[in-house]
């Protein structure tokens, strides 16, 4: 009997100690601002630099309590779309990859976007260091997600309390996609009914790789012809939709996200689509104007219309295929954007390089392999805009 009582006594003692430890941890834990909830706490992941090993080793309270510099490796790929929240009870300094970034005020939260850090540093993992107060006491580093303001749970007072749940508003991007795709299909059908032969040639990849001096298509249908303008408008809409689709998936192919709204409702998405469509349309015809000016300077004015139609034709085929590929990946492989986001620029670079070579070989006379005038012309109208685009992308 005594042994049973003794065993119960020790069990209760251990249980009380465990509860005390848990309560102590809960009281000492710093809570993020109310509109954020923690996903992961780096409390057990602190590192210190050890000169003997010339590397970072796990922080030990007994050995490294006086260390004024502690670090953490933050995985940017796994934590995309989240926020890095920092809090210190004393003044400290924030270093990222060894470079001083900010002074941390005492008892103030600092919020850093993981997506922004990835766009700036282009790394899968980032070294974050805090320098100032010794040890890790009073230092909090959390991965947090922002609470959805559209989802609220409320309790009404009284004995008959009810839980009032406001449903989460679904994304309007699905309705937007239906409207845009139907609009593009309507314009394609209109162009097809108006001139079936012209439309079929423009969407035929084989026609892009074929060229003849006796081909009457560029001579009859000039870029400023009604049919050509309508096809350029369709291409502009395809480009605008691809950019908005990628931006909605947090894939910032070009740094145009600041020009777009947050897409919280259908009208904002349609407005962004209209602005991007007009912008792409003007850029394409601005490129045609540049091609005319440079073509007259290099005595290649007879090739301008052919080259412009080939450029528009190839762009429509490439971006249409790219969108269908991205859409298929999104349907069958969720999360593909996290893995392939750093490499999405390569298909565009390969496309522009192959188009440059193809246009040179198609338009260049067969008896002259080296044509410096044509090469210089294509560099001005193809390579320079590509360099400017890469600058905006970076």
C-beta of residue 221 within 8 angstroms of C-beta of residue 227: yes
pLDDT at 72: 93
C-alpha to C-alpha distances, 125 to 50, 73, 144, nearest whole angstrom:
20, 6, 17
pLDDT at 334: 62
Buried b (16+ CB within 10 A) or exposed e, 315-333: bbbbbbebbeebeeeeeee
pLDDT at 34: 73
Q: Could you report the per-residue pLDDT of 81-124, keeping only the tens digit for each?
A: 889 989 898 999 999 988 888 888 888 888 888 988 888 887 88
Return d(Cα 389, Cα 166) in angstroms, integer: 43
pTM score, two decimals?
Answer: 0.55
The vertex-76 CA angle with 72 and 82, nearest 5°, equals 100
Q: Could you report the per-residue pLDDT of 264-283, keeping only the tens digit for each?
A: 688 888 888 999 999 989 98
Listed as ranges, residues in the chain with pLDDT below 50 are: 1-2, 4-28, 151-169
% of the chain at pLDDT higher than 70: 74
Return d(Cα 115, Cα 111) in angstroms, integer: 12
CB within 8 Å of 356: residues ≥ 6 apart: 378, 382, 383
Number of H helices, E strands in the chain: 13, 12
pLDDT at 168: 47
End-to-end CA distance of the chain: 76
As a CATH number, domain 33-146 is 2.60.120.260
In the chain, domain spans: 33-146, 173-393
């Amino acid at each position: 009997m005594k042994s049973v009582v003794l065993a119960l006594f020790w069990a209760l003692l251990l249980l009380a100690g465990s509860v005390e430890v848990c309560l102590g941890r809960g009281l000492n834990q710093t809570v993020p601002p109310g509109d954020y909830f923690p996903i992961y706490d780096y409390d057990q992941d602190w590192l210190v630099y050890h000169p003997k090993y010339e590397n970072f080793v796990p922080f030990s309270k007994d050995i490294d309590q006086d260390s004024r510099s502690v670090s953490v490796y933050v995985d940017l790929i796994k934590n995309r779309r989240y926020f890095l929240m920092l809090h210190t009870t004393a003044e400290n300094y924030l270093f990222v990859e060894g470079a001083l970034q900010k002074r941390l005020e005492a008892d103030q939260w600092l919020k850093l976007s993981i997506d922004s850090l990835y766009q700036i540093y282009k790394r899968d993992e980032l070294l974050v260091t805090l320098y100032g107060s010794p040890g890790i006491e009073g230092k909090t580093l959390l991965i947090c997600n922002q609470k959805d303001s559209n989802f609220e749970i409320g309790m009404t007072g009284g004995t008959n309390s009810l839980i009032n749940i406001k449903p989460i508003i679904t994304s309007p991007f699905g309705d937007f996609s239906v409207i845009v795709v139907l609009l593009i299909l309507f314009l394609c059908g209109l162009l097809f009914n108006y001139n079936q032969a012209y439309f079929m040639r423009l969407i035929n990849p084989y026609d892009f790789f074929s060229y003849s001096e006796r081909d009457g298509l560029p001579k009859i249908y000039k870029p400023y012809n009604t049919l050509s303008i309508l096809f350029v408008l369709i291409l502009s809409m395809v480009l605008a939709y691809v950019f908005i689709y990628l931006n909605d998936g947090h894939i910032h192919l070009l740094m145009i996200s600041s020009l777009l709204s947050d897409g919280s409702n259908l009208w904002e998405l349609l407005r962004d689509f209209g602005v991007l469509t007009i912008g792409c349309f003007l850029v394409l015809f601005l490129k045609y104007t540049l091609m005319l000016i440079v073509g007259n300077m290099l005595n290649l004015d007879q090739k301008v219309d052919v080259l412009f139609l080939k450029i528009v034709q190839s762009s429509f085929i490439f971006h249409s295929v790219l969108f269908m590929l991205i859409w298929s990946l999104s349907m069958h492989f969720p999360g593909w954007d996290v893995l392939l986001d750093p490499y999405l620029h390569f298909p565009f670079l390969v496309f522009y390089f192959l188009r440059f070579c193809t246009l040179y070989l198609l338009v260049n006379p067969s008896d002259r392999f080296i044509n410096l005038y044509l090469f210089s012309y294509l560099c001005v109208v193809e390579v320079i805009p590509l360099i400017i685009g890469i600058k905006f992308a970076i």
